Amino acid sequence: MKSQSQYRLLGRSPFLLKTHIATRNVSSTKKGRAITTHSFGLHICNKPKGVQTCRSIPNAPTHFSSQYIKTIIILIVLIISLNKNNAQTIPSELDTCYHYTSIEEAQANKENVQVLDLSKSKLKTFPQAILEFKNLKYLDLSKNKLTELPAEIGELTQLQVLVLHKNNLTHLPDSIIKLQQLEKIYLSANNLTTFPLSLLELNKLKVLVLNRNQINSLPYAIQQLKNLEYIDLWENDIEDVPASLNNMPKLKEVDLRLNPMSNSKKQGLEQKYPSIKFYFSNSCNCGY
């Protein structure tokens, strides 16, 4: 199965999912018989210039069985679901914007760049050319090798979504506080050991994803994020959460799966914060 990023939402062109089952005859070298095989393909059509699309899924088994048909249906549903999840990171008003996937292409139209996707570009440093796009609202730098962000990132004052999954970040620059339009930030699978305090100044922040880091506590001052609705802390080192969660009126979901939290602590949180949906791992003998 291809990764989620390979089924990317297309810019102005509609997302079209086409399936086809092609039958072809292949002459056998034995006894001169014709062997019929079947192939299954999934494609994204109407690719605009500069937008990455998916590749075909390898051929399915060479006969049609009920299990094969079920597998095809599951694949289609899963791929549609992956596109839906990916689209959720993009504000609805940007759905129809052109999605630039290269610096060179974006530089030819600087003032109109609102969505820039440089994921999986093997970047080791932050491209300074990004700072030229003053109207940038969505920036995806996930699945690269970034170890830090420059202080100048604070110049991107129109940013609404910043995607930094799967890099090697150990901290965020203080200039992040200048991104006052930021509503979603994704920092999963980095090397953060403490909660980035600069995030506490982002008054419009609604979604905060910090899973798969090594964060061991949340600051009491997290209550400053009055508009925060969802925080993902899955697979960190958190044993407790601050009582200040009571002062976050819009907080609806907290993901604490795979954190070293006792069963009694989990039960206590659910009783103490009935308006918040907590996600915990099932009990096991793994020491949690």
pLDDT tens track for 215-259: 999 999 999 999 999 999 999 999 999 999 999 999 999 999 999
Looking at the 3D structure of the chain, how many domains does it have? 2
Concatenating the DSSP letter of every residue in the chain gives ---GGGSPPPSSS---EEEEEEEEEEE-SSTT-EEEEEEEEEEE-SPPTT---PPPPPP--SS--HHHHHHHHHHHHHHHHHHHHHHTTS-GGGTTS-EE--HHHHHTTGGG--EEE-TTS--SS--GGGGG-TT--EEE--SS------GGGGG-TT--EEE--SS------GGGGG-TT--EEE--SS---S--GGGGG-TT--EEE--SS------GGGGG-TT--EEE--SS------GGGGG-TT--EEE-TTS---HHHHHHHHHH-TTSEEE-PPP-SS--
170 and 184, same domain (yes or no): yes
79 and 96, same domain (yes or no): no
Q: What is the pLDDT of residues 31-43, one digit of tens each?
A: 333 333 333 333 3
Q: Is residue 114 part of a domain?
A: yes
Q: What is the pLDDT of residues 186-202, one digit of tens each?
A: 999 999 999 999 999 99
18 and 106, same domain (yes or no): no
Q: Is residue 285 part of a domain?
A: no
For the cut 70, the answer to whether the pLDDT of residue 95 exceeds it is yes
Which CATH number does the domain housing residue 128 bear?
A: 3.80.10.10
Res 282: pLDDT = 81
73 and 198, same domain (yes or no): no
160 and 72, same domain (yes or no): no
183 and 100, same domain (yes or no): yes
| Res. 261 pLDDT band, cuts 50 70 90 | very high
106 and 212, same domain (yes or no): yes
Q: Is residue 236 part of a domain?
A: yes
Residue 222 Cα distances to 6, 98, 274, angstroms: 35, 35, 19
12 and 105, same domain (yes or no): no
Q: Is residue 59 part of a domain?
A: no
191 and 114, same domain (yes or no): yes
Instruction: Give buried/exposed letters for 87-110 (b at 16+ CB in 10 A, else e).
Output: eebbbeebeebbbbbebeebeeee
Segment 70-80 shows an average pLDDT of 57
Q: Which residue has the higher pLDDT, 146 or 25?
A: 146
Give residue 193's domain range: 92-279
227 and 113, same domain (yes or no): yes
Q: Model's pTM, two decimal places?
A: 0.70
42 and 180, same domain (yes or no): no
β-pair partners for 208: 185, 231
Q: Is residue 220 part of a domain?
A: yes
Res 32: pLDDT = 39
Res 176: pLDDT = 98
Least reliable range by pLDDT among 57-66, 83-92, 187-196:
57-66
83 and 113, same domain (yes or no): no
- Other CB atoms within a 10 A radius of the CB of residue 269 amount to 18
